[in-house]
Structure 1
């Protein structure tokens, strides 16, 4: 029989806690990086504390998705949680930057398992109609982590030391593990494959690593030949991956899925979230500081408004979709709001009161949140139950890759555009908000106009991305989420080997 309401609530609490830990570890580190690099004496390797985590969490998604289908989501989830706690402990004990980066890679790998298996487990224990409400609660982990992560990381670093940025995971994660052992049901694995797609996994991992490296180096603008080589390796790798998957008996990314209109449209919508919003969020504070002449603290209000809008609509649309069974209207409205909001950002004149871009970006966040978690539920319902982990991994993968690549491209456009337009006497490599605020009013106005003009085509391009999303949303088939109950989870006696 299905889970009791009490056990389902305990399960959601457990999954939300570990999803929050995984998401928080991506944001909480940012404010402690300078301290970490100074104490460990490796400033040049500082970015790899973040890149290593992101890279590992991205490339492992399709492999973990397949393993979840083969070995059972519970086993992968609990293994990932144990690994995450061990990696967090190792991060805090790091004696040099190489040690810390290696531990962060392990954290990223396990974080991917936590994020992915949380969504997979919910899909396995709820009907499609119930799922949006629970998926929205778990999906709230990311925007909450974005809101509190930097502030929490700074406070912990200042008062306890940077090691506790990682060690704080141990007591919270241990409590979540104890709860998970009770609350997460034994979910039987799918049919064992005749052949695990080792070749596909290896080729895909190599291609994706090369792509993320190319995007990272392009953003740093310091490794031209290496960037080109990595990009070439990536393109060749993805071509090879396509042919490997076409002939693999048990592919890690079944390409035939994309013949299904729901899966194809849902995958496109997931990619649009990464490209259209997640990519620009990191640059909003810089834009606000330069174009609106604010302090660093005040500039954080715009991304906070964006994330708060996302969080609110994510929870609201999850509840509405579960209540009504309707889902198609939410991505249509959401992509429309996103496109309209980003277009308004493109035409806003510099110098307006800060509450104007805050409201506009809150609308963009609301539009994105309207389908951010919901689209995962819709796509899961279109795939066979035995491949829930695989399709969930694909949805998350395209979002993360889209965000990574678009972030690098936007960074390059900003760096090149600002450097080309700055008046003589100002160096883009040393230009800071503090320097601009101390300059003459004419220079301040000039820099504000330059940033506004550089960001205008970026906002227009992102608005166009959401406009493509409107088309994808319209292509979603009509229908309602199914009320059909899921098969009963296995009992402990049926799954002693799990």
Structure 2
């Protein structure tokens, strides 16, 4: 379904604006959490502003992906954008924490539709060869949001008030909606099909239980509840897989995994969530404790990581669209990331800060080299009528991998630090400020402790990326096609390529 160059540019601008709003909604709100919770008098429920949003957006991915295939991605996208703007308005007017959490859940549900349908629409209106460039542009929203979101959130909270953290979405969202109404064409849906209600219910129950389990696992007095939630999640996931294997219209098309392209691409997507997204949240604390830096300086390492990711994402999208050759970039990218994380695991505490900045920038470059590219490759290997479902699956494994790995890494750090702290120090009340005010000897002990705890974490993540090299090598050799509507139903040997 080719578009005129002008209409395609308008479409990309609209989708990029919406993707940026959705990505900024995470990073801007994170900065204002303490202020919001304090004003509403519910500091104990603060984490649910984030957990509710993340859970809702993750659970709805496969459901919305299937709906996009059934009714067309245009209507799912426009509806999601309208609901997102309405939820943003309600968030800003919230009078208590319960109202805010409910509005954030609705906002998370609609955010999933924006992210997913943006990628699906691009897949429907471009050739496989063009797709990496446009997906890279839209995918740039995530690293840009990480770079500017925290600062923007702080400025808005300090000068305008926390309500504007949510209301800022409205003028930009309305502009994007106007462009979308003009630029997004009608995309013929895949025909009348039965919706997989049983699979949706089983998947929702499984994922809700899993997120609750990983949320509770590090909480005092919630160990038993966490174990029960893990057990319920395992049972629900087992039921989900049985349902998906038996139904004709699954929300997660497991049969597509017979394609080597699909299996390898989805494995690479999961590796991004597990291997990098999970650890970035802990990097500032690590450098404040191990390198004894200020909070401001500690942010330089994540910034270097994300900047490397942004540059590589845009560069590989442009290069693949020019040549059609894509396989080399995931191979080089996973190798670079594995090397960078391996070096981080061997880095002695006290090395100049520019050294870990360079190493984590290399990890970012390696990850960015295939971050958006694998989405384009997997989409090209799936039948057109299941573009939404397969795009949802790619995003789903990345988000679930990131959520679970983040909880695991957090647990490892909490247990390791608590077990190794010198006598008289309490891990639950340990802060960078208290460490920096302690004696040089105690500072050195805490620095060595954090270095010792994080070194095996970096090594484990390097192994994850090393496994990614194997997945990248398994991708078929060839070029992405220049033709529209060239998406065959995949088999074990199907490739989205031309010779």
Q: What is the TM-score normalised by the length of structure 2?
A: 0.97
Structure 1: gaps of 5 or more residues: 488-498
- 2:397 corresponding residue in structure 1: 398
C-alpha distance in 1, partners of 2:462/2:224? 32
| Preserved contact between residue 379 and residue 391 of structure 2 (Cα < 8 Å) | yes
- 1:291 corresponding residue in structure 2: 290
Cα distance per residue 1:333-369 (max 9 Å; x no partner): 0000110000100000001111111110000000000
| Preserved contact between residue 263 and residue 379 of structure 1 (Cα < 8 Å) | yes
SS at match of 2:375: helix
Tell me by how many angstroms 1:486 deviates: 4.0
| Preserved contact between residue 266 and residue 397 of structure 2 (Cα < 8 Å) | yes
- Aligned pairs for 1:30-429 (under 5 A) are 30-193=30-193, 195-429=194-428
Pair 1:19 & 2:19 matched: yes
Tell me by how many angstroms 1:221 deviates: 4.9
- Aligned pairs for 1:415-494 (under 5 A) are 415-486=414-485
Cα distance per residue 1:453-488 (max 9 Å; x no partner): 00011001000000010000001111110001249x
SS at match of 2:53: helix
C-alpha distance in 1, partners of 2:354/2:154? 26
4+ residue segments displaced more than 4 Å: none
- 2:494 corresponding residue in structure 1: none
C-alpha distance in 2, partners of 1:46/1:149? 19
C-alpha distance in 2, partners of 1:476/1:154? 43
C-alpha distance in 1, partners of 2:192/2:163? 42
Cα distance per residue 1:77-117 (max 9 Å; x no partner): 00000000000000000000000000000010000000000
| Preserved contact between residue 54 and residue 108 of structure 1 (Cα < 8 Å) | yes
Compared CA separation, residues 417 and 252, structure 1 to 2 (3 A): same
SS at match of 1:95: coil
C-alpha distance in 2, partners of 1:73/1:132? 19
Tell me by how many angstroms 1:222 deviates: 4.5
C-alpha distance in 1, partners of 2:27/2:21? 10
C-alpha distance in 2, partners of 1:232/1:304? 38
| Preserved contact between residue 384 and residue 485 of structure 2 (Cα < 8 Å) | no
Tell me by how many angstroms 1:276 deviates: 0.2
C-alpha distance in 2, partners of 1:62/1:228? 26
C-alpha distance in 2, partners of 1:409/1:418? 14
Q: What is the TM-score normalised by the length of structure 1?
A: 0.97
- 1:9 corresponding residue in structure 2: 9
| Preserved contact between residue 92 and residue 164 of structure 1 (Cα < 8 Å) | yes
Tell me by how many angstroms 1:51 deviates: 0.4
SS at match of 2:191: coil
C-alpha distance in 2, partners of 1:286/1:222? 25
Cα distance per residue 1:280-317 (max 9 Å; x no partner): 00000000100110000110010000000000000000
Structure 2: gaps of 5 or more residues: 487-499
SS at match of 1:190: coil
Equivalenced residue count is 486
| Preserved contact between residue 435 and residue 443 of structure 2 (Cα < 8 Å) | yes
Tell me by how many angstroms 1:255 deviates: 1.2
Tell me by how many angstroms 1:219 deviates: 3.9
Cα distance per residue 1:132-181 (max 9 Å; x no partner): 00000000000001111111111100000000000000111011101110
C-alpha distance in 1, partners of 2:51/2:153? 18
C-alpha distance in 1, partners of 2:461/2:25? 27
| Preserved contact between residue 2 and residue 486 of structure 1 (Cα < 8 Å) | no
| Preserved contact between residue 18 and residue 176 of structure 2 (Cα < 8 Å) | yes
Tell me by how many angstroms 1:450 deviates: 0.2
- 1:491 corresponding residue in structure 2: none
Taking only aligned residues, the RMSD between alpha carbons, in angstroms, comes to: 0.9
C-alpha distance in 1, partners of 2:51/2:311? 29
Tell me by how many angstroms 1:220 deviates: 3.6
C-alpha distance in 1, partners of 2:121/2:484? 15
